[in-house]
Amino acid sequence: MSNGENWINSEDPEALSGRGVDWSGCEPTGAKAERPHVTIPQPDHPVINVHAHLINFRFIPNSFNFKVLLENLRSFELDVTEDLIRVLKVPVTVAGSLIGINWLYEFIELMALDNIADQAAQYRREMDEARVSCSAILMMDLEQACEKEGQLAYEDQVNLIHQAVNLPDNKDRMLPFIMFDPRRRVSDAWRRKLNNRPMDTFLDFCKYAVEVLGFAGIKMYPPLGYHPGYQDQQFNSDEVNGALKALYEWCEADRVPITTHASLGGAYSPQVIKENREEELGRPGNWEDVLDIHPNLVLNLAHYGGNWRTYPDQEDTAYEWRQTIRQLIESFDHVYADVSCNETSLAKEKSDDYFVELKTDLGLDKIGDRLLFGTDWPMFYHSWNEARFTEPFVKNLSRDEFKKLACDNPRRFLGARLPSRWRQDRAD
């Protein structure tokens, strides 16, 4: 079993990329573990998840290090089998460090779906089981963290997501957020497709997504290689800073909400990992200077500081980051934080402490009005699905506490971007 150091020893990018694997015929020979059935009572109000994703291996560039995904899997208990090694196409030492993932095969199958609409259909079924009325679908853009272009142009990914969420069964239930990376430029092919609309910068394309395609907001991910502050000179070029400034001015003027990654877990560009700068780019305090200049920016600092259980050695940092987020909420009127991917809520040894702290925060005047419900589906699909993550929040919070977290506060965050059918308290 790997000790965690140099545990990926392959230099072959195809061995580190989900899209480099031929997924046909990769059904496991053994029986799959059954997910426990979860029964969640029908609420008397909409349940709004502000943090979910639709993403498959076609959306991940070959040159993006698949270690990012495997890092998130390796701390759980799993018996090493030939099937696991065969499906993942990684060295035995890697497979040996993937421990405790009961539904790994389902996760791989979900990510291997070529048609993103098929994944959206699966998520809609899980939303129904979890009693989730509406979810924000946050796009990812991993290509800007890579040296090579991906198989599927990002603008094409945006178009596919737009089509999937607007299918009759999904419309008004999935609200896409386009990811803005200040280093991205609009491709020449898409400039020609949209020749009736100025498309000089990628921000122009984001405006098109929001104003024409009906996207609900912006997703940002600074740990992929940039600092969110546009006065930064250490990480950002002048061009990047100019793109960030223009984004914030538009989002503030048009009240376009932004959700940004703000925890130590997650994805990083290879360069950020090499230079050991994960914490520098992800810390929520990086946003203070931005908010000083743009106090009306609607900002969700996702994950509320981080996941205590999956990264126990980072619990002190997660606590410090939650404290910083609380201070930003107290200082600025439009700062929020979602609780997505906080697996601590599911951990027997930690869940009591988790919900004591969450209930305390929900009882505070300002902070209690800015915390948001989110799951991060399907990023940890190997360990939970939508209903299993939602259940402890329903069980451990009072009706009014859960309504505040999963209905009232998300309504305030999304504002007019939320479909009108979810603005009234009524059973779904």
Contacts of 12 (CB under 8 A, 6+ apart): none
Give the percent of the chain with pLDDT over 70.
Answer: 79
Listing DSSP states for 391-408 in one string gives HHHHHHS-HHHHHIIIII
Cβ 248 vs Cβ 287: under 8 Å? no
Question: Residue 128 class from Cβ within 10 Å (0-12 exposed, 13-18 middle, 19+ buried)?
Answer: middle
Extract the tokens encoding 119. Answer: 């994944």
Q: Which amino acid is present at 143?
A: E
82-91, 186-195, 235-244: range with lowest mean pLDDT: 82-91
Is residue 116 helix, strand or coil?
A: helix
CA 425, 300, 399 angle in degrees (round to 5)? 30
142 pLDDT higher than 70: yes
Give the per-residue pLDDT at 309.
Answer: 52
Extract the tokens encoding 369. Answer: 């009005």
Extract the tokens encoding 243. Answer: 């793109």
Within 170-307, where are the H helices?
Answer: 188-193, 202-211, 238-254, 270-274, 278-282, 288-293
As a whole number of angstroms, the longest Cα–Cα distance in the chain is 58
Summarised one tens digit per residue, pLDDT across range 233-250 is 888 999 999 999 999 999
Q: Which of 282, 251, 265 has its CA nearest to residue 340?
A: 265
Q: Which amino acid is present at 2?
A: S
Name the pTM for this structure. Answer: 0.85
Summarised one tens digit per residue, pLDDT across range 304-345 is 987 655 555 667 788 889 999 999 999 999 999 999 988 777
Mean predicted confidence (pLDDT) in 143-162 = 85
- Distance between CA atoms of 174 and 164, rounded to whole angstroms? 9
Mean predicted confidence (pLDDT) in 201-226 = 95
Q: According to CATH, what is the number of the domain 43-64+115-417?
A: 3.20.20.140
Q: What crossing angle do the helices spanning 386-396 and 116-130 adopt, rounded to 10°? A: 20
215 pLDDT band, cuts 50/70/90, is very high
- Distance between CA atoms of 236 and 240, rounded to whole angstroms? 6
Question: Residue 159 class from Cβ within 10 Å (0-12 exposed, 13-18 middle, 19+ buried)?
Answer: middle
* Whole-number average pLDDT of the chain: 81
Sheet holding 174-179, edge to edge: 48-52, 134-138, 174-179, 217-220, 258-263, 299-305, 335-338, 371-372
- Distance between CA atoms of 218 and 194, rounded to whole angstroms? 20
- Domain definitions of the chain by residue range: 43-64+115-417
Summarised one tens digit per residue, pLDDT across range 275-297 is 888 778 889 999 999 999 999 99
Extract the tokens encoding 253. Answer: 């003027």
